[in-house]
Structures are given as structure tokens and as C-alpha cells.
Amino acid sequence: MTILSSGDGRSVCPPAVSRRDNPETSFEAEEAINKDGSRVTHLSVVLGVIESQPGLTTGEVGDASGLGQMETRKRISDLKNMGMIFAGDVRVWEASGRNQSTWWPISKDGVQEALL
């Protein structure tokens, strides 16, 4: 598995995300995106946006990354589970008019600091 590196030098291996009760197609899809490198590529893109523009909503990260909201939501979930980002306050994503969490990087010393 490829390793994801953050802007502050931390390296983390993305965990498995398919659950035991998922259909076989979920495991096949996960294997494919891990094998072709697209999962780590997308994780790097999303993390880069969050590190350079902390406090964006999921939709805003999707817009800024060019990956769209659906793919971004999956990679944000991965990054949160990997301990690389955390959810801050909730605010409206203007494009949808709905509330979404804002996303912030966790520093290499584990500090969660949202500039609210």
C-alpha cells in the first residue's frame, strides 16, 4: 500500500474502509483504487487543500480540489480516521444552502487548532 505524506512530514498508510458486511463489489472497488494509486492521489489532493485553506466545508474542498463533493466526502472520512484532519464548526455551504462541517488539519504534534 502506498503511504500518504502530509505537508508537515507525517506519513500514514490509509486503512481499509470496506466493512465485513459490504458486498463483494465494495472490496473490489477498494482494491482497485488502492492498486492504481487513485485513493492516495485523491487523499493527497484533499489534504493539500485543507492544509492550505483550513476551515473549508466538504463542498468547498470538493470545489477547490476539482474532485467534487462525493469523492471528497469519502477522502475526508479517510483523513479523519487517519488522524490527519478534524471537523470544526458547522456552516452553510453556499452552493447547496445546507450546513456542513468545516475541516482543519491536525499538526504533527497532534494539536487540533481551528482558527474560528
- Please give the pLDDT value at position 54: 96
Model confidence pLDDT, tens digit, residues 80-100: 998 999 999 999 988 889 999
Whether the pLDDT of residue 1 is over 60: the answer is: no
Q: Name the residue type at position 74.
A: K
User: What is the domain partition of the chain in residue ranges?
Assistant: 26-105
Label residue 109 by pLDDT band (50, 70, 90): low
Beta strands 56-57 and 98-105, pairing class: antiparallel
Q: Are 98 and 116 in contact (CB under 8 A)?
A: no
Could you say which architecture CATH assigns to the domain 26-105? Answer: Orthogonal Bundle (1.10)
Q: What is the pLDDT of residues 51-66, one digit of tens each?
A: 999 999 999 999 999 9
pTM to 2 decimals? 0.78
What cell was used for 32? 482497485
